[in-house]
């Protein structure tokens, strides 16, 4: 594969923070970055200090890390909900103004960056299974850069949706599992036939 001259990647500072957290630059991270930035504009959000923003991701890919960094949504706070559907779809809600948007990746992605011939070759090599690790990295770089240059509406469709507000992360007391003795959130316990409360691993 022919080497082409390196492209200067001008990365925004907030994207650099996402890369630092995620570990690498990749198209998946860019998807999350694009969605988070657009959602912040549409929902008039700042980074979530508590739980006013909720992100529902319909995949568990690289994109989720950008949502965590930019929106402040996290599993620990209960305002990041993962639905493992393998879909490039994200719903972002603002509890304060009760607005929600659903972002879904459009069907056809066509590379519009340069050098186009190199991208096409790399794409073909990846499809045919002959791409080297270096080819794959280069492909990711080119695609990431292309995505960053594109208008959001080229890549995602946006739809305002009725916000079904998920409940706040539940606070529940813990009790000891009757079988293993480990402290377990009471709302997550299973009741046995003789009325004992046991944890899910002990119940299964
Ligand atoms: Zn990644
Ligand atoms: Zn147990």
Lowest mean pLDDT of 28-42, 139-153, 156-170, name the range.
156-170
The pTM is what?
0.80
* Separation of CA 113 and ligand 1 centre (Å): 20
Q: So what's the pLDDT on residue 110?
A: 87
Q: So what's the pLDDT on residue 49?
A: 65
Q: Are residues 191 and 156 in the same domain?
A: no
* Separation of CA 23 and ligand 1 centre (Å): 7
Q: Are residues 110 and 143 in the same domain?
A: yes
CATH code for position 153: 3.30.1330.130
Q: How far apart are CA 191 and CA 178, in angstroms?
A: 10
* Separation of CA 197 and ligand 2 centre (Å): 9
* Separation of CA 122 and ligand 1 centre (Å): 18
Pairing of strands 183-185, 174-176: antiparallel
Q: So what's the pLDDT on residue 9?
A: 60
Lowest mean pLDDT of 2-16, 50-64, 111-125, 128-142, name the range.
2-16
Ligand whose nearest atom lies closest to the CA of 61: 1
Give the model confidence (pLDDT) of 13-57 as tens digits.
999 999 999 999 999 999 999 999 999 999 988 766 666 899 999
* Separation of CA 33 and ligand 1 centre (Å): 12
Q: So what's the pLDDT on residue 164?
A: 72
- The answer to whether residue 186 sits within a structural domain is yes
Average pLDDT on 185-197 reads 93
Ligand whose nearest atom lies closest to the CA of 199: 2
pLDDT exceeds 60 at position 132: yes
How many distinct structural domains can be found in the chain? 2
- The answer to whether residue 67 sits within a structural domain is yes
DSSP result, 134-191: HHHHHHHHHHHHHHHHS-HHHHEEEEE----PPPPPP---EEE-TTT--EEEGGG-EE
- The answer to whether residue 167 sits within a structural domain is no
- The answer to whether residue 5 sits within a structural domain is no
DSSP E strands, the chain: 53-57, 80-82, 89-94, 99-105, 156-160, 174-176, 183-185, 190-191, 197-198
Q: Are residues 109 and 199 in the same domain?
A: no
Q: Where in the sequence is the domain holding 194, given as residue range(s)?
A: 174-203
- The answer to whether residue 3 sits within a structural domain is no
* Separation of CA 200 and ligand 2 centre (Å): 7
Q: So what's the pLDDT on residue 155?
A: 95
Q: Are residues 51 and 106 in the same domain?
A: yes
Q: Are residues 120 and 181 in the same domain?
A: no
Q: Are residues 97 and 187 in the same domain?
A: no
């Amino acid at each position: 594969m022919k080497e082409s001259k390196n492209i200067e990647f001008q990365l925004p500072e907030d994207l650099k923070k996402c890369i630092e957290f995620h570990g690498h630059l990749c198209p998946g991270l860019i998807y999350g970055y694009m969605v988070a930035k657009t959602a912040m504009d549409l929902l008039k959000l700042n980074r979530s200090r508590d739980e006013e923003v909720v992100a529902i991701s319909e995949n568990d890919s690289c994109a989720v890390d950008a949502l965590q960094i930019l929106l402040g949504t996290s599993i620990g706070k209960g305002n990041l909900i993962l639905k493992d559907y393998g879909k490039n779809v994200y719903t972002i809600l603002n509890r304060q103004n009760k607005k929600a948007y659903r972002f879904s990746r459009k069907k056809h992605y066509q590379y519009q960056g340069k050098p186009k011939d190199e991208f096409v070759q790399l794409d073909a090599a990846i499809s045919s299974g002959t791409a080297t690790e270096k080819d794959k990295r280069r492909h990711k770089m080119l695609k990431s850069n292309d995505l960053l240059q594109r208008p959001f509406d080229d890549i995602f469709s946006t739809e305002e949706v009725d916000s079904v507000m998920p409940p706040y992360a539940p606070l529940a007391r813990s009790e000891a599992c009757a079988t293993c003795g480990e402290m377990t959130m009471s709302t997550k316990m299973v009741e046995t036939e003789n009325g004992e409360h046991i944890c899910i691993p002990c119940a299964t």
